[in-house]
Structure 1
Amino acid sequence: MSWYITLLVCGLFLIGIEIFVPGGVLGIFGAAALIGATIIGFNIFPIWGGWLSLFGILCLAGLALFIWFQYFPKSPAGKALSLSQEIGKKDHDEATWEPGMTGTTLCELRPAGKAEVNGKRLDVIADNGTWIAHDTRIEIVRISGNRIYVKEV
């Protein structure tokens, strides 16, 4: 009986530790310990007790998983190990760029490079793949998604 309880506790503990120590080895040992506890349960209990033991182990593992998924992501350790749902930095510039705005190139556009429009630096692409020299006046021709196409003025 003591081996049964030892394997059951160790199996659940090893599977729980597997979350903190990735690699799969501890999880495999934990699963093997639970399988061993199930086999010992069939040997020390009558047949109906063995099935009851198997059902109890499965319910205990399911309950542990449920508790894990409910409470671990909210814990300090879970927050440290998990990716955040929120995006901290804006993924787009809050300035509104419109065709017709003008600026100057900050480097040679071959065909892409940096330009300054309304005092802000931005990545631009020369329209039709043309090469535009450094410090040249440009005009925004069109905007497609996050790409800003310009031409020489």
Structure 2
Amino acid sequence: MTLLLTLLVAGITLLLAEVFLPGMVAGVLGVVCLLGVAVVGFAEFGPPTGTLIVIGELVAGTILTVLWMRYFPKTPLGKKYILDPSTAAKAPAGSEKWVNREGVTLTDLRPAGSARIDGEKVDVITAGEHLEAGTRVKVVRLDGPSVFVRRTGNPHS
């Protein structure tokens, strides 16, 4: 029983650690520990109890995943780790009207970054050149959601 509880606690802890540690190692080890719980359950308690343990793990895992997906993004820690879609810059609507418009880069473009064009924050791309933040740029073309710009003046002008 001690081994079963140890594997269960270790598995849950490793799965939670996977959220903050990239690389999938903690997640894979967590899943292995939870599979070990099922194996130990079958070995120590027999098929009826082992089956109940597997069903319990599946039901609890499903419920906890749904709760995590629903509530974690609303927590202060979740807000820190998950990008709010409303703050992300987006390609402007109305396509061709943006060609030949000018703006200023808000971030360094290496070659992608953000610029303010006609008062809107827009994700932009250069033709490969590096531009510093504050550089005046001009929209030269649109390709789907991608807005391509080139330098129009001196940096920080």
Structure 1 residues 88, 25: closer, same or farther in 2, change over 3 A? closer
RMSD: 2.6
What is the TM-score normalised by the length of structure 2? 0.57
Aligned match of 1:116: none
One-letter amino acid matched to 2:67: I
Q: Do the aligned residues in 1 keep the contact of 2:139 with 2:148 (CA within 8 Å)?
A: no
Give, in angstroms, the shift of residue 122 of structure 1: 6.8
- Any gaps of 5 or more consecutive residues in structure 2? 90-114, 121-135, 141-146, 150-157
Percent sequence identity is 34
Structure 1 residues 94, 58: closer, same or farther in 2, change over 3 A? same
Give, in angstroms, the shift of residue 123 of structure 1: 2.5
Please tell me whether Structure 1 or Structure 2 has the larger radius of gyration of its CA atoms. 1
Other structure's SS at 2:87 match: coil
Aligned match of 2:35: 35
Structure 1 residues 123, 61: closer, same or farther in 2, change over 3 A? same
Aligned match of 2:118: 93
Aligned match of 1:73: 73
Q: Which runs of 4+ in 1 moved over 3 A?
A: 88-92
- Any gaps of 5 or more consecutive residues in structure 1? 96-120, 126-144, 148-153
Deviation track 1:87-132 (CA, whole Å, cap 9, x = no partner) reads 366965159xxxxxxxxxxxxxxxxxxxxxxxxx87276xxxxxxx
What is the TM-score normalised by the length of structure 1? 0.58
Q: Do the aligned residues in 2 keep the contact of 1:12 with 1:61 (CA within 8 Å)?
A: no
**How many pairs were matched up?**
103
